[in-house]
A and B are shown apart, each in its own frame.
Chain A
Amino acid sequence: MTGALSTFRICDFTGQLAGAGATKWLAAFGAEVIRIEDPVRQGRWDILRGGPPYKNGERGLDRGGAFNNHNAGKYGITLNLRDERAKDILVRLIEISDVVSENFAKGVLERWGFGYERMREIRPDIIYVSNCGFGHVGPYSDFKTWGPIVQAVSGLTFTNGLPDHEPAGWGYSYMDHTGGYYMAMAILLALVHRQRTGEGQWVDLACTESALSLHGPALLDWTVNGRPSRRAGNPHSNRNAWPPMAPHGIYSCMGDDDWVAIACRDEGDWQRLAGVIDEAWCGNDAYASLDARLASQDALDVDLGRWTAPRAKYDIQAQLREAGVPVAAVQKPRERIDLDPSTEGFGLWPTVAHTVMGDVRVDGQPAHFSETDWEYPRAGPCLGEHNEEVLTRLLGFTSDEVANLAQEGVT
């Protein structure tokens, strides 16, 4: 089967997750993604290279578990761009690439002599996608970010939490994932544009801006009604305002840090839930309508929490599924990865054969295509793993020349 994107080649400087996650999608659908790393710093401009987790506890530059996860399906080469010969190789690679992608701080590629204008000289229809926290334009464009900083500045940290507590925020870099998704969309949009017009372009992606665009209704409530999200009683992010639902929350269960999520979308859900609970409090006047339940939601949460507390989360899940009420156990990693038939059935955790680590499972993609589905024919690359293959197959070097380049510190 030919991949959906197998006619495209990506000259890829991305790293971490915010960039590497984007080109991982492209590689899954057959794009030839060639990741370029710095041999002098042993690829460590990506802090995940060589970082944990480690399979069997074995550490090493080529044993980074996160790096492998985000770079499955890509080729990896090394270029020491302090050396003019490496720059020449990069020029030749850009000549035969459709996209140059990076998520450095603003200005890094330019300092190496590869700003957008130069890349256009090399290949007039090149697509250049830069991805950094605040973008390459605007007052904060020189500021530095990580995922948690992007989330803080853009409002995503603030909106996750309980009233009268500090923000809970996100327990991971949601915006590294999601910034990567927007970067993938941007690359794909630019490729569609080029396919239809022949024109390349530069895309200036600012992760904070992508993140801010995820607050649509709250921002309109602000611009139209003047209502701020920073107000008493807000946020209360396990509740639901749009549309309002009650009960709606995450409740404690029997067991070690076990929880269950329950949501009643309408009167029918509430009646079915009350039917399962079958205790007198369900008939309280205070819970007799949605408006009443919304007004009494604190008390309702206490009552419902008292019912869930002595019960096992999967028992509650089974009972409420049977009754037709939206419910889900809050699943721990092992529960959703190893014990949940739905993720296994979807093929969500494919195994890749890593050159050093051997077989390792990675995150798959959550969409299946009837004609050109995704696959990971290779694991994340070891440092410089594909120097010989890429330089000989694509750029016409001989094996001896490739060996010399390595010896002379060019690759």
Chain B
Amino acid sequence: MTALTGLRVVELASERVAFAAKLLGDMGADVILVEPPGGDPARAYPPFLDDEPGENRSLWWWHYNTSKRGVVVGLDSEGGRDRFRRLIASADILLEAEPRQRLAELGLDYDDLREIRPDLIHVAITPYGRNDALSDLPATDLTIMAASGPPWSCGYDDHSLPPIRGPMQALHTAQHFAMMSALTALLHRGVAGQGQFIDVSMTAASNVTTEAASYSWLVAQQTVQRQTGRHASTRPSGETQQLCADGRYANTGVPPRAPREFAALLAWLGELGFKKDLPEAVFLEMGANWEGPFELAKLGSDDEITAIFGAGREALKLIASRLSAQDFFLGCQRAGLAVGVVNSPEEAFEDEHFKARGFQVPVHHDDFDRTVTYPGAPYALRGSPWAISRRAPHLGEHDDEVFGEIERGEGLAGA
């Protein structure tokens, strides 16, 4: 069985919870996606199948709603609220990102729902948490990020260019915490039999996902400054992004700093026939033959250490300028250097490593009679299979099925 077989998750459709519910569904939970009449607005998000907008053609919708069944419930009518309560009576987890006071106004907030299902785990996602009036203000992935820190640290050495946000990642980060929260509460329920209400703040989630920006301030009241392609820092650091011969970039990471690394780099330089083109090769040889600790703390003060360290950087630059980014990456890694090719998402997706791990997953779309390749599992649990159990639901596709099961008092679909 899978980790979450037989557990029912009810999701009130929103771009702010769809991913968390997918994570649970792909691990085997029976996720019931509840949409209002007319459907969730994200059904109309691009990109579209064959670039043609239309019903059930949103690839955004496809991706974030795998392994779910779909029902339509209008919470604005008493009949709809009744249906919702019946659904909750059968549910283990509720995931929602409704406006802060909406569920209370409808008589459907945690205190109401626990009367129906005492051990319910109710996870609410809002921009600033349920107790902060700022959550009532309109917000998007971009504004949540800006308020919470990530863009301050991301961008270019040239500070006339704007700080940069990582698209969708404020939404993702909050939902990672929603997933961790739901599982944590589930374990507690398994031990103590008790459900609970969980208040996830999207801005708080990104605020604690900024690494040194936060703790440099918390510990030492220092402010990091953004730099091109590398860590924002309280002091400027050397460039790590390198343009390669095919016009793509590589990240050279931490330059060589141990004798075996200098030796491996020197050997590779020789194999490639580039050694004669590197004036600093003599320093690499010194590095390869170095005895005792190579004290990086003396960088800048000790001439030999400075020259050897610099030669490592120059060797990487020379090789990168003559190889494709992928060949540079593979060659460096085989020499034991932690270097990365800057792939686009599709280049990574087509890479042999991820293919070999089974990351490309076929999903059949009966509605279009097409089999589509999806991104696979974020983790490989050897004893609990991850799977896309079904394509994203059409609007109201499982109304009869789900409410029929409930009417008949049947157990859960997967149980």
A in complex with B: yes
Q: What class of interface size applies to chain B in its complex with A?
A: 35 or more
Q: How far is the CA of A158 from the CA of B167 in the complex (A)?
A: 11
CA distance A143 to B359 in the complex (A): 18
Q: 6 A-B Cβ contacts within 8 A?
A: A138-B353, A149-B340, A215-B348, A215-B375, A230-B346, A363-B218
A168-B201 in contact (CB<8A):
no
In contact, B374 and A223 (Cβ under 8 angstroms): yes
Per-position 1/0 for A342-356, Cβ under 8 A of B: 110110110000000
C-alpha spacing A48/B42, complex, angstroms:
42
Kindly state whether residue B393 has any CB partner on chain A within 8 Å: no
With A5-B184, A243-B46 already in contact, the answer to whether A371 and B154 are too (CB < 8 A) is no
Task: Tell me the minimal C-beta distance from A336 to chain B in angstroms.
Answer: 6
Contact A155 B381 (CB under 8 A): no
Q: Is B406 an interface residue (CB 8 A)?
A: no
A188 near B187 (CB under 8 angstroms)?
yes
- Please name the 10 residue pairs, one residue from A and one from B, whose CB atoms are nearest each other, closest first: A201-B383, A366-B204, A152-B340, A171-B153, A261-B146, A65-B219, A216-B63, A155-B345, A171-B232, A149-B340
Contact of A365 with B172 in the complex, beta carbons under 8 Å: no
User: In A131-178, which residues have CB < 8 Å from any B CB?
Assistant: 134-135, 137-140, 143-146, 148-162, 165-174, 176-178
Known: A248-B142, A260-B146. 10 other contacts (CB 8 A): A4-B184, A155-B346, A171-B213, A172-B213, A192-B186, A237-B166, A243-B45, A263-B140, A330-B163, A365-B208
The 8 Å CB contact of B142, one of A146, A181, A216, A263, is: A263
The residue on B at minimum CB distance from A218 is B345
- Is A190 in contact with B342, judged by CB distance below 8 angstroms? no
Contact call B254/A269, Cβ cutoff below 8 A: no
Within 8 A of A (CB), among B165-183: 165-169, 172-174, 176-181, 183
Stretch at the interface among B262-270, B301-309, B331-339, B394-402: B331-339
CA distance A176 to B231 in the complex (A): 12
A348 to B210: give the CA distance in the assembly, Å.
Answer: 13
Q: Closest Cβ of chain A: how far from B321's Cβ, in Å?
A: 15
A249 touches B231 (CB 8 A): no
Report if B113 contacts A (CB, 8 A). no
Known A5-B187, A191-B187; judge A204-B382 contact (CB<8 A).
yes
Q: Which residues of A contact B12 (CB under 8 A)?
A: none
Given A185-B180, A192-B187, A210-B379, are A65 and B215 neighbors across the interface (CB < 8 Å)? yes
Q: Is the CB of B349 within 8 A of A222?
A: yes
Q: Are A166 and B241 touching (Cβ within 8 A)?
A: yes
Contact status A242-B45, CB under 8 Å: yes
Known: A157-B342, A367-B199. A201 touches B384 (CB 8 A): yes
A217/B230 contact (C-beta < 8 A), A158-B345, A160-B154, A251-B162 known = no
Q: Which of A166, A173, A248, A346 contacts B128 (CB 8 A)?
A: A346
User: A60 interface residue, CB < 8 Å from B?
Assistant: no
User: Which one of A25, A177, A360 lies within 8 Å of B180 (CB-CB)?
Assistant: A25
Q: Which of A54, A193, A205, A333 contacts B214 (CB 8 A)?
A: A333
Residues from chain A with Cβ under 8 Å of B190 in the complex: 192, 195-196
Task: Kindly identify which residue among A165, A174, A205, A248 contacts B156, using a CB–CB cutoff of 8 Å.
Answer: A165
Q: How far is the CA of A222 from the CA of B352 in the complex (A)?
A: 17
CA distance A13 to B152 in the complex (A): 32
Contact of A185 with B379 in the complex, beta carbons under 8 Å: yes
B297-336 contacts to A, CB under 8 A, are 329, 333, 336
